[in-house]
Amino acid sequence: MGATEFINDWILGGDGWLAPIICAPFVGSFAGVLIARVPEGRGVVLGRSACPACGHKLGAADLVPLASFAALRGRCRWCGGAIGWFHPLVELAALATAIWAACAGARGAQLWAGCALGWTLLTLGWIDARCQRLPDVLTLPLVLAGLAEAVFLEPEAVMGRAAGAAAGYLGFWALAWMFRRIRGREGLGMGDAKLLAAGGAWLGAWLLPDVLLLAAGTALAYALRRGRPDPTEKLPFGPFLAAGIWAMWLYG
């Protein structure tokens, strides 16, 4: 195989898997910016990254995913302050997401779509774990992206995906309403309902029960990790929903 055929078949298109994996750390770097800034309402595109210790604006050489952190040994080149592991961990998680999707058999356009889903779920789950929020600016486009993916890659599934989006939102809304009626307080957020709607848009209605069962089971296991859970403790459900959606997309 010549260089041109390799680039066309394995990097740019066809059964290519290499390009998403190469891009993954850079997407992870952007995801880290979203996780840090979106909940605080800070600008994402125009705001420049800076050292958390001295505030010095970072240049391009300081922002190469994974490589800059390794070369600088986790220290700012200007003040020597610790950079922290947050951004490298997000970049590694994004890389692992792309490799996981490729190992599950996705190729070409399907692999790119799956990586986009996985990277967005990673970002949403991380934000919810940190701030107990699922921003509309990420959940609502994920719904539309799932429907668009069906239109272009699986047109025969468009109606089922649309039904899944509606069922996901309305079903979770009904659960939240029943919880409020029975317990007399809010317990389930509408951000979770929108995330489940996104799951329905990507998976269809028929896999939503499996998503909820997996998410609820893992959330319960997490709550029981230290013994009997505190009923007043707020547990973000988004990371578990995101994991359930991702698992069903890969293997459902």
Q: How far is residue 123's CA from residue 1's CA, in Å, rounded to a whole number?
A: 38
Q: Interhelix angle for 158-183 vs 190-203, to 10°?
A: 160
Q: How far is residue 195's CA from residue 121's CA, in Å, rounded to a whole number?
A: 9
Which positions ≥6 away from 83 have C-beta within 8 Å? 51, 52, 69, 72, 74, 75, 76
Which positions ≥6 away from 218 have C-beta within 8 Å? 240, 243, 244
Domains of the chain, by residue range, sit at: 1-108, 132-252
Cβ(133)–Cβ(191) below 8 Å = yes
Cβ(218)–Cβ(197) below 8 Å = no
pTM of the model: 0.88
User: Residue 125 has which token pair?
Assistant: 């789950």
Which positions ≥6 away from 167 have C-beta within 8 Å? 200, 205, 208
Angle at 16 between CA 13 and CA 20, to 5 degrees: 100
Cβ(72)–Cβ(83) below 8 Å = yes
**pLDDT (0 to 100) of residue 178:** 81
**pLDDT (0 to 100) of residue 126:** 97
Over residues 171-181, the pLDDT tens digits come to 888 887 887 77
Q: How far is residue 82's CA from residue 75's CA, in Å, rounded to a whole number?
A: 5
Cβ(198)–Cβ(174) below 8 Å = no
Amino acid making up residue 227:
G
Over residues 99-158, the pLDDT tens digits come to 999 999 888 889 999 999 999 999 999 999 999 999 999 999 999 999 999 999 999 999
Local confidence band at 8 (pLDDT 50, 70, 90 cut-offs):
very low
Cβ(161)–Cβ(202) below 8 Å = yes
Over residues 44-83, the pLDDT tens digits come to 766 667 777 676 677 777 778 888 888 888 787 777 778 8
